[in-house]
Amino acid sequence: MGKKILAVIIGLIIGGLVIMGIEAINMLRFPWPEGMSMDDKEGFVSYMQSLPMSALITVLMAHIVGAIVAGFTSTKIAAVNNINLGLICGVILLIGAAINLFMIPHPIWFMVINVLTILPAALLGAKLAIKK
């Protein structure tokens, strides 16, 4: 049991690092305006609305790839032959994404795709890690 919990924690950490790494690309491509902070809700909303679709697609890809990596890593570390740990990682990442979507305004299409892809991506990662 302890090995499985540790595997999920490590999977989430590595998946989270993948997400942050890919999202960092957006910060280089589309830096925040000078002097803007998260405390300035209107300024942040304006910034989000000014981003091109490619920036939002990059974020979606970060979440999908991070979920795949989390599901794969947790399943591989625990050396289990089922998708349960990937499911746990996917649920935790989905909760994190939902919190993010409530805190930061996003287009509806982004919200729908984000919510619908995280769990299947984590399950795919787990399936890829299962020994045949």
Query: Pick from 108, 17, 123, 111: which is nearest to 60 by CA?
Result: 111
Residues 83 and 80: their CA atoms lie apart, in Å, by: 8
Our measurement of the distance from residue 96's CA atom to the centroid of its chain's CA atoms, rounded to an integer in Å, reads 8
Residues 34 and 114: their CA atoms lie apart, in Å, by: 29
pLDDT of residue 61: 97
pLDDT of residue 20: 96
Mean pLDDT of 76-105: 93
Q: Give the residue with greater pLDDT, 50 vs 12.
A: 12
Mean pLDDT of 24-35: 88
pLDDT of residue 119: 97
Q: In the predicted model, what is the mean pLDDT of the chain?
A: 92
pLDDT of residue 122: 98
Q: What pTM did the predictor assign?
A: 0.91
pLDDT digits 0-9 by tens, 38-89: 787 787 778 888 889 999 999 999 999 999 999 999 999 999 889 999 999 9
Per-residue pLDDT for 34 more than 90? no
pLDDT band with cut points at 50, 70 and 90 for residue 131 = confident
Per-residue pLDDT for 132 more than 70? no
